[in-house]
Chains A and B, each alone.
Chain A
Amino acid sequence: MVRRITLAHGEGGDLTHQLIRDVFLASFGNREQTQLDAAILKSTSKTLAVSTDSYVVKPLFFPGGNIGKLAITGTINDLAVSGAIPKVITTGFILEEGFPLRDLNIIVESMAREARNAGVSIIAGDTKVVEKGSVDGLFINTTGIGVVNEKYQMTPEKICPGDSIIISGTLGDHGISIISAREELGLLTKVESDCASLNDLIHQLLEKVEGIRIMRDPTRGGLATTLVELCEDFHFNVELDELLIPIRKEVEGACDILGFDPLYIANEGKVVIVVDSLKQKMVLDILNANKLGEEAAVIGQVTSCQNQVGKLMIKTPIGTTRRLHRLSGLLLPRIC
Chain B
Amino acid sequence: MEQLNDLSDPQLIRKSIEAVLRLANTFKEQNGRVPVLMEVCGSHTMAFAKSGIKKRLKEHVRLIAGPGCPVCVTDQKSIDAMIKLTEGPKRIICTFGDMMRVPGSNFSLMEAKTEGKDIRVVYSPLDSIKIAEENPDQEVIFLGIGFETTIPILALTVHEAQKKELKNYSIWMTTKLVEPVLRVLLSSEDVNIDGFLLPGHVSVVMGKKNYEFLVEGFQMPGVITGFETIELLSGIYKILQLLIDKKVSIINDYKYVVKDEGNPVAQNLIKKYFDFHDEAWRGMSVISKSGLGFKREYAQFDAKRKFKVNVGEPRKTKCRCGEIIRGLITPEECVLFNKSCTPLRPIGPCMVSTEGTCAAYYQYMREV
Contacts and interface: CB of A to CB of B under 8 A. Distances in A.
Contact of A329 (B10, B124, B342, B355): B342
A258 B1 CA distance: 20
Centre residue among B344, B346, B364 by max chain A CB count within 10 A? B364
Interface string B331-356: 00000000000111010000010110
A324 to B, nearest CB: 9
B51 A317 contact: yes
Contacts of B53: 318
Interface string B1-43: 1001000101001100100000000000000000000000001
The 9 closest A-B pairs by CB, nearest first: A329-B343, A259-B354, A320-B52, A316-B52, A331-B97, A184-B127, A328-B343, A185-B123, A320-B55
A2 interface: no
Interface string A324-336: 0100111100000
Interface string A181-213: 011110100000000000000000000000000
Given A249-B4, A328-B344, A318 B124 contact: no
A315 B155 CA distance: 42
B276 interface: no
Contacts of B101: 329, 331
Centre residue among B1, B97, B342, B365 by max chain A CB count within 10 A? B97
A328 B56 contact: no
B98 A331 contact: yes
Contacts of B354: 259-260, 330
A328 B342 contact: yes
B342 A322 contact: no
A258 B17 contact: no
5 contacts: A258-B123, A260-B354, A317-B10, A328-B344, A331-B98
Contacts of A182: 123
Interface of B: 1, 4, 8, 10, 13-14, 17, 43, 46, 50-53, 55-56, 97-98, 100-101, 121-124, 127, 227, 229, 233, 342-344, 346, 352, 354-355, 359, 362-367
Given A184-B123, A317-B8, A328 B363 contact: yes
B353 to A, nearest CB: 8
B216 to A, nearest CB: 33
A144 to B, nearest CB: 31
Interface in A235-292: 243, 249, 256, 258-261
Contact of A325 (B229, B233, B363): B363
Contacts of A31: none
Nearest to B42: A259
B367 A319 contact: no
B123 A318 contact: no
Interface of A: 182-185, 187, 243, 249, 256, 258-261, 316-323, 325, 328-331
Contacts of B4: 249
A322 B364 contact: yes
A187 B14 contact: no
Nearest to B47: A256
Contacts of B55: 320, 322
A173 to B, nearest CB: 19
A317 B229 contact: yes
B1 A249 contact: yes
Nearest to A253: B4
A320 B364 CA distance: 12
Given A243-B10, A249-B4, A258-B123, A329 B51 contact: no
Given A187-B124, A322-B364, 12 more contacts: A243-B8, A258-B123, A259-B354, A259-B355, A316-B50, A318-B13, A318-B52, A319-B52, A328-B342, A329-B343, A330-B343, A331-B98
A185 B227 contact: no
Nearest to B227: A256
A176 B73 CA distance: 29
Nearest to A186: B124
B121 A259 contact: no
Contact of B367 (A258, A318, A323, A330): A323
Contacts of A243: 8, 10
B344 A329 contact: yes
Nearest to A259: B354
Centre residue among B52, B227, B342, B359 by max chain A CB count within 10 A? B52
Nearest to B1: A249
Nearest to B367: A323
Nearest to B8: A317
B97 A322 contact: no
Contact of B50 (A183, A185, A249, A261): A261
B124 A184 contact: yes
A331 B121 contact: yes
B11 to A, nearest CB: 10
B288 to A, nearest CB: 31
Nearest to A328: B343
Centre residue among A258, A318, A319 by max chain B CB count within 10 A? A318
Contact of B366 (A184, A323, A331): A323
A272 to B, nearest CB: 21
A331 B352 CA distance: 10
A183 B134 CA distance: 14
B365 A322 contact: yes
A199 to B, nearest CB: 34
A329 B229 CA distance: 25
